[in-house]
Structure 1
Amino acid sequence: MDNISSIIMFTFSGLDESWTNRLIIFVFTLLGFILTIVLNLTLIVIIILHRTLHEPMYIFLCNLCINGLYGSTGFYPAFLYTLTGSNMISLSNCVLQIFVIMTYSLCEFTNLTVMALDRYMAICRPLHYQTVMTRVTICKLLIFIWLFPCGTTGVSISIMLRYPLCGSHIDRLFCQNWALIERLACQEDIVKHIVNGSFFVWFNLLVAFLILCMSTCLPHLIALVNFIILTIFDALFGSRDGPKVLGKLMSVASIVIPPFINPIIYGVKLTPIRTQIKKHFQQIQS
């Protein structure tokens, strides 16, 4: 029986498609990657170029798009490489992908939460907004958005690597924390307590964040509900006892859909963003 000290390569067994189907999936995946990059970069550039958008709300939105690019680059290139026929990944690259995807997911939560708090202050406490949301406060919140997920993920991965692994076959499409913990860990009961406890804490926090968002504005609510639903379905159907096909689809959807749909939601719903995008397209056409 192998353990973590002897396992240096993992094998993905979640993709058993023919070369024709792989090619079709590759094309659509590549198009999705390109569209995700274009949509997020468009909002980032629009916000950076226009000083009227240098407000806390749009700064946090810009950070949300940066996080979307960060998460997409952690998934798409490796998945595209897997589709070319190589189902192997090294331990170090697998751990790196887990770190990127976990930090991306947690950054999504923290960023949307900070955006909701910003809107709450602007709508419910407008007289105190300017004195509270200073440049120093914005910088502190941006640091929190990234530092908390990175610290939490680092601790989680370090705990995970302390336990021996009894296998090297990952029945998923990429290196995912749930897959490694539940399918490869020898001391399954101990690790499950850690995972279930973490999930319980995050679920309760999400309920509180959702209630807060309902008192702010529609785009934040749509973005957060979308991400919560995908994450919960991934946790439910990505377990050992869940349907395999549905589990694989939900694990991918929780990473692919938010970075793609968030720029569309905010680009359509927020009038200042929509106005600037229209101006740029009119300038290009003329």
Structure 2
Amino acid sequence: MMENVSVVTMFTLSGLKFTYVQRMTIFLLTLLWYIIILLSNFTMIVVIVIDKKLHKPMYIFLCNLCINAVYGSVGFYPKFLVDLLSSHVISYAGCMLQGYVIHSSSCCDFSILALMAFDRYVAICRPLVYHSFMSKRRVSLFVFFSWFIPLFCMFMNTAVLLGRKLCGSHINKVYCVNWMVTNLACSPPTASGIVTAFNIGLYFGHFLFICWSYLYLVKTCISSTDMWKKFMQTCLPHLICLITFTVTVLLDLFYMRFGSAALSQHLQNVMSMTFLLVTPVVNPLIYGLNLTSIRNRMLSILYTKKKIGIF
């Protein structure tokens, strides 16, 4: 379809070969899941914003993690739901925008998770300087750069693809990603490889920093029962979210880079969508259940509403 490089203005997306009944079933389940994602994350955001007792670095970072989950979900679910009801095509501009949102959201996740690891390191290993070091001004700067750097890096990653001559228009995925568009270029841009290598190196550095933080935390806390209890209460939810995010993203990356055409289309879809399906729900669920302050605040809100309803 549209193989002439001068007229490639639309892309076709694959992986939606279902009967009408199957499409409607998947549509309803996806819509329900999307509503759950929005409700769970917005609930966490509202609880943290309205309760001044939660205006602390750890909860501020968590709030931004939930905001990012909403941002990334908006880049995928509305388009996917539309595709289930109609032909699965996307414009060139729409493809670039969707790829940018999904990529930048994933990178923002890593940046915020790195901040949360650093916050726990300072709180547990350097408690005497925690409040002076994690001041409102410094936390604001941390949050700003945790958004600015991923958004800028992914903007550069997308910008080097704009205007490239394409020798194809079919993307073997249910959503757009820059790597797939790069593979369609008649002559892959050198700048794209350089920018991609820089971004991979940057976020691999994030990963190493998080690993170092947790190794140091475990080493510090394992010798004290009280410290270990504090580690399990505040660090375990973060560790679960980090492992879930890393595994699901790597699953998609390994499939894109080394995937086999012998795999069924449905399995390919599951591998590529896992981080978009699991991560946005895991974060509010794990933190909501494990962090006492948030759990108590949620229960108090529900209890208050229940009393109002009775009267």
Q: TM-score, normalised by structure 1?
A: 0.92
Alignment of structure 1 residues 102-141 onto 2, 5 Å: 102-141=103-142
Distance verdict in 2 for CA 1:198–1:145, change over 3 Å: closer
CA–CA separation in structure 1 for the residues paired with 2:163 and 2:205: 28
1:220 maps to 238
1:51 maps to 52
Contact 1:227 1:258 in 2 (8 A): yes
1:186 maps to 186
Which stretch shifts more, 248-257 or 22-31? 248-257
1:101 maps to 102
- Percent identity among equivalent residues? 38
1:13 maps to 14
CA–CA separation in structure 1 for the residues paired with 2:283 and 2:251: 19
**1:238 corresponds to 2:256:** yes
CA–CA separation in structure 1 for the residues paired with 2:55 and 2:91: 42
Q: 5+ unaligned residues in a row in structure 2: which ranges?
A: 218-230
Give the counterpart of 2:278 among 252, 257, 263.
Answer: 257
Distance verdict in 2 for CA 1:87–1:42, change over 3 Å: same
Letter in 2 for 1:130: H
Contact 1:210 1:224 in 2 (8 A): no
RMSD: 2.0
2:151 maps to 150
CA–CA separation in structure 2 for the residues paired with 1:204 and 1:141: 17
Deviations along 1:88-143, whole A, 9 cap, x unmatched?
Answer: 21111111111111110010000111111111111110111111111110110111
Q: CA deviation at 1:194?
A: 5.9
* Total equivalences in the alignment: 284
Runs of at least 4 residues off by over 6 Å = none
Secondary structure at the counterpart of residue 160 of structure 1: coil
Q: TM-score, normalised by structure 2?
A: 0.85
Q: CA deviation at 1:253?
A: 1.1
User: Based on CA coordinates, which of the two structures has the bigger radius of gyration?
Assistant: 2
CA–CA separation in structure 1 for the residues paired with 2:240 and 2:11: 37
CA–CA separation in structure 1 for the residues paired with 2:136 and 2:125: 20
Letter in 2 for 1:275: N
Secondary structure at the counterpart of residue 17 of structure 2: coil
